[in-house]
Chain A
């Protein structure tokens, strides 16, 4: 192992880094976007609305992410109609052959389930007075959800969700199981080529560590902005106010 070998692998690591960050950011964004309507259904008093969402989150939260990745990438090939659709070039089923889309689908479905439950918990914790105040102001149900319930719940949701963000970043490390070369995939290639496990996995572990630190920093910025009202204030400020 020398410096030239390391430099040779730099492009693979850079590409892997891009894949890891893309998968993390895209799946989190998509998962959150889908989790908002799902969490509203999840807390609905009507069992017909909350039931299917509950089954979905129960399945996704009760099974390993690895199994979910395998199901999306390898599982669907079992069905003849899927194979036929691939033969015909059906654009709706084509993503199930592409490892990146499959990883994105599985990761999104996974994080969306956890996010839905976290958000549903935040919604259930809505103080009764907030609902009452919205009604007293004559807000319609849609307005109350949009202006009062969701913004209030999304604020309570941030601390628990920050954990999910880090878990997702680490979860992407499994996508090399479905042939995608992310950071971990690049490290596994490096190991296979040079039989140098310490260089391969410690270097990539350090990159993940750095990424975790960056994500944590961004989360802290968000908390400072949206949870400003919960920040401890200095005594002097209070005395002046």
Chain B
């Protein structure tokens, strides 16, 4: 317990890094996901096949392998580019690598989530909006988006939980997140169990909090929807 107290500030800082990484990557992933879903539903053959290739590739390769490739390969690419343009290459940062890798990976999962949600909104809604003379941006913003949020929310939160847990692998490329700090502290104090469990508590707080938030948000979004009940 004493060891834990001594490392509490470091662990808190690590938890901050984990949260920063998770929120930065989820923002990137949400943007890629929206673009990917639009591409998949665009009807343009090249865009559809590009988006399909992207989601298929991501589903086939483990996150960790992807991260190692970006981390070690990215440095070489940056070095070559920099020397070709004649200036000193910047060092590739573990945080930046992790944000891009995780954002890129979960962009694929959000693509599928958003695609399903857009398809779940009845076609007539968009047709009605266009018939009223809404521009396509206005129709998206006022008609499609509010309705798709309700449909996408459960899967989107689930993706967020998986993403948060995935950030732990960034500790393996040297990012000082909560997992990394716990690992170091556990080795130094020879109390690894204490510190791994402390890191677990951080993840559990965020995952449980997100799940609780989803439950309340869902009730709020579904208040206008009558759900079929089999046995009441």
Q: Which residues does A use to contact B, with CB under 8 Å?
A: 58-59, 61-67, 70-71, 74-79, 128, 166, 169-171, 173-174, 177, 184, 187-188, 191, 197-198, 201-202, 204-205, 208-209, 212-213
- Bound-state Cα–Cα, A210 to B54, Å: 16
Which residue of A128, A174, A197 is within 8 Å of B69 (Cβ)? A197
Contacts of A65 in B (CB 8 A): 165, 168
- Are B172 and A66 in contact, CB atoms less than 8 angstroms apart? yes
- Are A67 and B199 in contact, CB atoms less than 8 angstroms apart? yes
B61 touches A (CB below 8 Å): yes
Closest 10 CB pairs of A and B: A64-B168, A197-B72, A170-B62, A209-B60, A201-B69, A173-B62, A75-B193, A62-B207, A197-B73, A64-B165
Contacts of B60 in A (CB 8 A): 205, 208-209, 212-213
**Given A170-B63, A173-B62, A197-B73: A64 in contact with B68 (beta carbons within 8 A):** no
- Are A63 and B204 in contact, CB atoms less than 8 angstroms apart? yes
Contacts of A166 in B (CB 8 A): 59
* Min CB gap A85→B, angstroms: 15
Which residue of B73, B186, B197 is within 8 Å of A198 (Cβ)? B73
* Min CB gap A155→B, angstroms: 19
* Min CB gap B75→A, angstroms: 8
- Are A202 and B69 in contact, CB atoms less than 8 angstroms apart? yes
- Are A184 and B203 in contact, CB atoms less than 8 angstroms apart? no
- Are A67 and B196 in contact, CB atoms less than 8 angstroms apart? yes
Contacts of B165 in A (CB 8 A): 63-65
- Are A66 and B68 in contact, CB atoms less than 8 angstroms apart? no
- Are A64 and B208 in contact, CB atoms less than 8 angstroms apart? no
Given contacts A58-B208, A67-B182, A197-B73, 11 further A-B contacts (CB under 8 A): A64-B179, A65-B168, A66-B171, A67-B199, A75-B192, A75-B197, A170-B63, A173-B62, A184-B62, A205-B66, A209-B60
- Are B59 and A212 in contact, CB atoms less than 8 angstroms apart? yes
Contacts of B167 in A (CB 8 A): 64
Specify the main secondary structure of chain A where it touches its partner.
Answer: helix
B24 touches A (CB below 8 Å): no
B96 touches A (CB below 8 Å): no
- Are B196 and A75 in contact, CB atoms less than 8 angstroms apart? yes
- Are B192 and A78 in contact, CB atoms less than 8 angstroms apart? yes
- Are B200 and A67 in contact, CB atoms less than 8 angstroms apart? yes
* Min CB gap B197→A, angstroms: 7
**Given A66-B169, A187-B68: A77 in contact with B192 (beta carbons within 8 A):** yes
Contacts of B204 in A (CB 8 A): 58-59, 62-63
B42 touches A (CB below 8 Å): no
* Min CB gap B202→A, angstroms: 9
**Given A62-B207, A66-B179: A205 in contact with B61 (beta carbons within 8 A):** yes
- Are A78 and B194 in contact, CB atoms less than 8 angstroms apart? yes
Contacts of A170 in B (CB 8 A): 61-64
* Min CB gap B3→A, angstroms: 10
Which residue of B191, B193, B207 is within 8 Å of A71 (Cβ)? B193
**Given A63-B200, A198-B73: A70 in contact with B183 (beta carbons within 8 A):** yes
Q: Which residue of A lies closest to B187 (CB)?
A: A74
